[in-house]
Structure 1
Amino acid sequence: MLDPTLRREGEPEILPGRKLAARVAGIYTAPSDHFVTRAVEALPLGFEGIDGDFHAGHTRRSGGREPWYPRGTEMRNERQLSIVAPDELAIVAGRMGLSEIKPEWIGANLLLDGVPMLSMLPSGTMLFFKGGVTIKIDGQNAPCRIAGRSIAEHAGMADHDAGSLMFPKAAKRLRGLVGWVEKPGAIFAGEEVSVRVPEQWIYRA
């Protein structure tokens, strides 16, 4: 009888899925004409994301993150929400010589507390909010100069260009995550979140 636990030669190690607990420390939305967000009391979500938000929509236009498409190609919007962590923002602020970086300055929609190394959660991670919303993680949110300039302006840095160049380096793998709405509803500050990390492996073939 075959043992299903035996690994084939060269097969990668598979790490089992796990559950983590988090809490919503802040919720934010952006007007339709600018990515900088503002704090709100509730975050109503539909299948298009946050109604009226800068990043709402079933689809979006490709940009510099998708060099395999001509810029402006219509594609699925997997970047409906931006999710950051307070401890990672503090690290980035320290690297930039700032006292703080507020989630709103870089267009965040959710501030999640309690997950170690939030930005390293793998694609496919599910966020189950106690109120019923489910968000699926697409991947890391690569830091860009636009967010860096916003930080420089809001923090009162003397050289805005230097700030825009500094942020992508200081925030590498600390910029948080992007995700999309799998199950709509409303999210509230202080809400509990069950974070379900899927099985993981490194494909080397």
Structure 2
Amino acid sequence: MEIIGQQKITGKVGAVYTAAGESFTTQPVESLALTFEGIIGDRHAGFTRRAGGREPWYPRGTQMRNERQISILSLDELADIAADMGIADVRPEWIGGNLTIEGIPHLSMLPASTLLFFEGGVTLKVDFQNLPCRVAGSAIAENYPDREPDGLSLDFVKAAKRRRGLIAWVEIPGTIRAGEAVRARIPEQWIYNGALTE
């Protein structure tokens, strides 16, 4: 079994956003104030959340740990998604992004348990890739009234596979500001194939 050792890579925060109230979309802000529950005032904040379509192994509405406190995106990946969809732009706020990170290639491919250390003292822990869904696709379609909305929302699901960014939760709270440095500590990795051999 091949094991890839721990790695470190540095990038920076591009912009930060929050979803106030019940809106899925986010708005740009100067900084994000974080507690252990997530972004103060954001609709995804909380220690727990209710299970939905992403967790078919639980009855809908089951209370579970909230690993989806923060949505992290790459502008490069969003540009690739837009190109594949045949549209000019996919903006972070349209699909509920909380922050963009620049300088870390293939951001969405960072593995689970990657730690993101921010210059201001915050640490986020990556749970996994944020899987693309039609809800986000529909939010994009609202910005392209000349396109057929159902087609565009389905196009997003295909185009955004493995490029939809990451979901993370707060390990060390504090404040994240646009422009600050962020260091990714990527854990040791391997592919588990069930039948382990030495």
TM-score, normalised on structure 2? 0.96
Q: CA deviation at 1:32?
A: 2.5
Answer with 82-91 or 153-162: which moved more.
153-162
For structure 1, the residue ranges without an aligned partner over 5 or more in a row are 1-11
Q: CA deviation at 1:160?
A: 1.1
RMSD: 0.8
Q: Give the Cα separation in 1 of the matches to 2:114 and 2:21.
A: 28
Q: Which residue of 2 aligns with 1:59?
A: 48
Matches within 5 A, 1:91-130: 91-130=80-119
Q: CA deviation at 1:157?
A: 4.0
Asked if 2 retains the 8 angstrom alpha-carbon contact of 1:157 and 1:163, the reply is: no
Q: Give the Cα separation in 2 of the matches to 1:152 and 1:72.
A: 28
> How many percent identity over aligned positions?
59
* Aligned structure 1 segments of 4 or more residues deviating by more than 3 angstroms: none
Question: CA 1:60–1:15 in 2, change beyond 3 Å: closer, same or farther?
Answer: same
Q: Give the Cα separation in 2 of the matches to 1:43 and 1:145.
A: 27
Q: CA deviation at 1:161?
A: 1.3
Which structure has the larger Rg? Answer: 1
Q: Give the Cα separation in 2 of the matches to 1:122 and 1:153.
A: 32
For structure 2, the residue ranges without an aligned partner over 5 or more in a row are none
Q: Which residue of 1 aligns with 2:166?
A: 177
Q: Give the Cα separation in 2 of the matches to 1:155 and 1:91.
A: 17
Counterpart pick for 2:25 among 21, 31, 36 = 36
Counterpart pick for 1:145 among 131, 134, 149 = 134
TM-score, normalised on structure 1? 0.93
Q: Give the Cα separation in 1 of the matches to 2:162 and 2:125.
A: 19
Q: Which residue of 2 aligns with 1:186?
A: 175
Q: What code does the residue aligned with 1:171 have?
A: A
Asked if 2 retains the 8 angstrom alpha-carbon contact of 1:58 and 1:77, the reply is: yes
- SS of the residue corresponding to residue 155 of structure 1 reads coil
Q: Give the Cα separation in 2 of the matches to 1:179 and 1:202.
A: 22
Give the length in aligned residue pairs. Answer: 194
